[in-house]
Structure 1
Amino acid sequence: MNLPEAFKEKMKSLMGESYEGLLDSYDQPESKGIRTNTLKLTPEDLARKLPFETQSVAWCPDGFYIDHEVRPGKNPYYYAGLYYVQEPTAMAAVEVLAPEPGDWVLDLCAAPGGKSTQIGAKLKGQGILVSNELVNSRAGILSTSIERMGMTNVIVTNEFPERLVDSFYQSFDKILVDAPCSGEGMFRKDPGALSDWSLERVSRCVGKQEKILESAHRLLKPGGVLVYSTCTFSPEENEQIIEAFMNQYPYELESIELPGIKDHGRVAWTLNNEKAIEKTLRIMPMNVKGEGHFIAKLIKTDASSDSKNVKQGYSKSRLKKASRTELIDYVDFAKNYLAESFYKEFEDRLYLLGEHLYAIPKGIDLETIANLKLLRTGLHLGTFKKNRFEPSYALGMALKLSEAKNVCDLKEESEAYQYLKGEALNINAKKGWILVGYDGYSLGFGKASEGIIKNHYPKGLRIRKK
């Protein structure tokens, strides 16, 4: 690999005898992995279903290595949301964060969604996950990833981190800052990271990281957990930024130990010989099968050094509580097509956004989020059309086949691909909405009439070929 000379000089001076091992690692094939969506099945069940070989990831019980020749995004199980394609070492940060059901969690730099979907699976539908992404196009990808995984308690925002403070000041039990960085650990995986790298880029990233961490501090509850991670080797973006953050804000580092990872933060790479940096984690590609990461786990010890400057005059939320009259068509749909145990769970949390119906997460105050750019507020149930209700893709993916009254569970892979391409299915079924599945897991909705199931799989997600 043709690495930048400035990068090689920098890493040689930092790493000494270990430098040659790092250099050699860039000539090895990238590591590929998938992570089980435990909202839908266990890792053991997934491994049995997959048509390709897997190898367990030591630090993530739900993760697997796969051969770099495998194309996991072409399998129907991928579209059923049974797994997320994720580089194995990228799974480590959420294992350190350790979200639990009921937690309020913020993923501050969330796209494309690997870590958010990992957090959401650990929450098991309880508590709230706010997944934020500043870049518009990436925020859309994030939202689609969350829908495919069938998650119901996630709010997706498209905001600058500081804009979240008004709505969520000291609200979160746990925050993940997977910070935008110079990407040195991704050179063999992402050619763009290699071509964009420069010493100036490292400095620009440090400035962004400082601002993001300042916002994270204001969003975290006292006693809460902040996990900071990057995919770069740069000390300026890792040891040194954590050292500076701790000097400015009331935090303590907590030791991190993960199976299969032995490298820790380098005290010698700090500016003031900060001994506590040994508690952070480094993932180095010459020592681990995977790419490069840095992870720090910080506990907020005090809130007295911070105060909230309240912004006056929230804009009026476009979301509104749905009236009984407005819900007539939805209630008719729910009673005819959904298990009562499913739709009753959301009946007191139904809100309208124009023609779209959402089941918002428990505990959300609409007034406080009214001034935010929201891409997704809980579970999108569907859309009101003229004299009817049309269920959404997100609802289809959140449902188990047992939670729908009309089901077409496809057994042949060829039929699953036919559906995923957007084609009609020549199958006799009871007239009306059908939840289409493959091998016991939902893929989306269709509508049956006269021996045909008309396809309602979203056009933007349809595949062209296997």
Structure 2
Amino acid sequence: MELPKKFKEEMKELLGEEYPVYLATYDQPVRQGLRFNSRKLTKEKWEAMDPFGSQPVPWTKNGYFVEKEKGEEKGAGPSGHPYYYAGLYYIQEPSAMTPASRLPVEPGDRVLDLCAAPGGKATELGCRLSGKGFLVANDISNSRAKALLKNLEMTGLANYYVTSEDPEKLCEKFPEYFHKILIDAPCSGEGMFHKEPQMARYWEEKPPAYYAQIQKRLILQGADMLRPGGMLLYSTCTFSKKENEEVIAYLLKERPDMETVEPEPYEGFSKGFPLEGEAEEMNGRLQKCIRLFPHKISGEGHFAALIRKKGEAAEERPAKEKSISLPLPVQDFLKMTSMDFSRGFFKMEGERVYFLPEGGAMPRLRYLRTGLYLGEAKKNRFEPSQALAMALSPETFDSCINLSSEDIRTVKYLKGETIETGDIPTARETGWQLVCVEGFALGWGKLNNGILKNKYYAGWRLR
């Protein structure tokens, strides 16, 4: 492929004698990957059912390399397999799995993913909360935020908010509020040239200097939303010092209460580069950043810096929100589930019913989603949502239709077709059924006389 001349000159200066080895990676196949959903699966369970012959990504506990051809030989590739529609994994470039894996999220944290779409990192952060605390996943682009919402719903999470706001407004609303923040900043995308060659053309239109100004603004806003004692991870999929070490150095000068922390290492990672003209002390702090280069690891490349805000925040007592009294059809439906609704509260907007995570009262913002959307309370009936289905399992709903991934009815269901299920035992012979593939939820159906009326969400159907 044809790389911009100036880019090649900058990479040669950056890498020195390693440059020819780096350049040779453009002749190698692009590595694909997936990250299994730790909310629904253990590593052992995934490896027992993996249909793609995946190999572990050594620097990420739930990441795997996928050979596209092998997956397609065995049937549908990763993006078309029923397991994908069950939210069992997220398709993600292997080095892009690094940032979320290096931010030490703990159950109960308030977490912000500031530039979250399409959701590769947000879904992982949400899973690691284990249902406690909550995630605010934001993207300034409303269209991209809609894709983000879908991916969070497919993952089966309940404790999240999706916003589409300018980070400046979030900064005004959430001063020193979050325990953990991820900023996977918009960048010139040098690490994507191999995978998406058209990015090289965009690089010439908007080079690193263009993005560096945006990144410096974002990282200061992130720092101001971080609680004392909290951790922020800044990342890019680019190689330029302007967008990486120079941004971190700028933060450390502008916010003296921030300090770099060395993330969990891996033998293929490189240290951050020193900056010409900076003091030895500053360059020592920058060396705690990590770089992933395609000639050293099996991925396209990434940069990550883990940063801590000094001090400790005072303990707080979050306000307790009051749940509303739900309409009887909603109450009756929820009796069919054993989902834990103890950590949060119910809310209605018109006919739409939500379950929101516990925590402080949230400010007025442009939300695409507040918590788990349960469904619509129609007159004398309740229509459960696709999001609720994805948050349930055969263990948490009282009547299920469980299909094999190889059963032709699974594909028919995902296409929105009516299917016959008379040969499948169910706890109830009529009414709502949670349709599953090998024990993992796909969506809803309504059963009557062995015929399942398809209620799979039309916008997600297999084409």
Q: Shared topology, TM-score over 0.5?
A: yes
Report the 3-state secondary structure (helix = DSSP H, G, I; strand = E; otherwise coil) of the residue aligned with 1:403.
coil
> Is 1:105 the equivalent of 2:102?
no
8 Å Cα contact 2:180-2:230 kept in structure 1: yes
Could you report, residue by residue, the CA deviation over 1:261-306 in whole angstroms, capped at 9, with x for unpaired residues?
A: 33111114675552211111000001110011111111112599xx
Matches within 5 A, 1:272-311: 274-301=283-310
Q: For residue 316 of structure 2, what is the aligned residue in structure 1?
A: none
Q: For residue 390 of structure 1, what is the aligned residue in structure 2?
A: 383
Moved more, 180-189 or 63-72: 63-72
8 Å Cα contact 1:29-1:68 kept in structure 2: no
> Is 1:355 the equivalent of 2:351?
yes
> Is 1:264 the equivalent of 2:271?
yes
Q: For residue 417 of structure 1, what is the aligned residue in structure 2?
A: 411
8 Å Cα contact 1:240-1:271 kept in structure 2: no
> Is 1:462 the equivalent of 2:456?
no
8 Å Cα contact 2:32-2:66 kept in structure 1: yes
> Is 1:14 the equivalent of 2:14?
yes
Report the 3-state secondary structure (helix = DSSP H, G, I; strand = E; otherwise coil) of the residue aligned with 2:420.
coil
1:200–1:133 Cα change, 3 Å: closer
> Is 1:380 the equivalent of 2:373?
yes
Q: How far did residue 14 of structure 1 move?
A: 2.4
Given residue 48 of structure 1, which amino acid in structure 2 is its aligned partner?
A
1:2–1:88 Cα change, 3 Å: same
Distance, in Å, in 2 between the alignment partners of 1:460 and 1:62 is 28
Matches within 5 A, 1:177-216: 177-198=183-204, 200-216=206-222
Q: How far did residue 415 of structure 1 move?
A: 1.7
Which ranges in structure 2 are unaligned for 5 or more consecutive residues?
72-76, 314-320
1:423–1:282 Cα change, 3 Å: same
8 Å Cα contact 1:431-1:450 kept in structure 2: yes
Distance, in Å, in 2 between the alignment partners of 1:133 and 1:432 is 38
Matches within 5 A, 1:230-245: 230-245=236-251
Could you report, residue by residue, the CA deviation over 1:169-190 in whole angstroms, capped at 9, with x for unpaired residues?
A: 2111111110000000011112
8 Å Cα contact 1:134-1:159 kept in structure 2: yes
8 Å Cα contact 1:425-1:455 kept in structure 2: yes
Given residue 226 of structure 1, which amino acid in structure 2 is its aligned partner?
L
Report the 3-state secondary structure (helix = DSSP H, G, I; strand = E; otherwise coil) of the residue aligned with 2:214.
helix
1:323–1:200 Cα change, 3 Å: closer
Which ranges in structure 1 are unaligned for 5 or more consecutive residues?
305-319
TM-score by length of 1: 0.91
1:268–1:68 Cα change, 3 Å: farther
Q: For residue 85 of structure 2, what is the aligned residue in structure 1?
A: 79
8 Å Cα contact 1:184-1:232 kept in structure 2: yes
Could you report, residue by residue, the CA deviation over 1:5-60 in whole angstroms, capped at 9, with x for unpaired residues?
A: 11112212222211111111122111111111111111221122122211111111
Given residue 359 of structure 2, which amino acid in structure 1 is its aligned partner?
G
8 Å Cα contact 1:58-1:260 kept in structure 2: no
Given residue 378 of structure 1, which amino acid in structure 2 is its aligned partner?
G
8 Å Cα contact 1:322-1:352 kept in structure 2: no
Q: For residue 345 of structure 1, what is the aligned residue in structure 2?
A: 342
* RMSD of equivalent CA atoms: 1.9
Q: What is the number of residues matched between the two proteins?
A: 441
TM-score by length of 2: 0.91
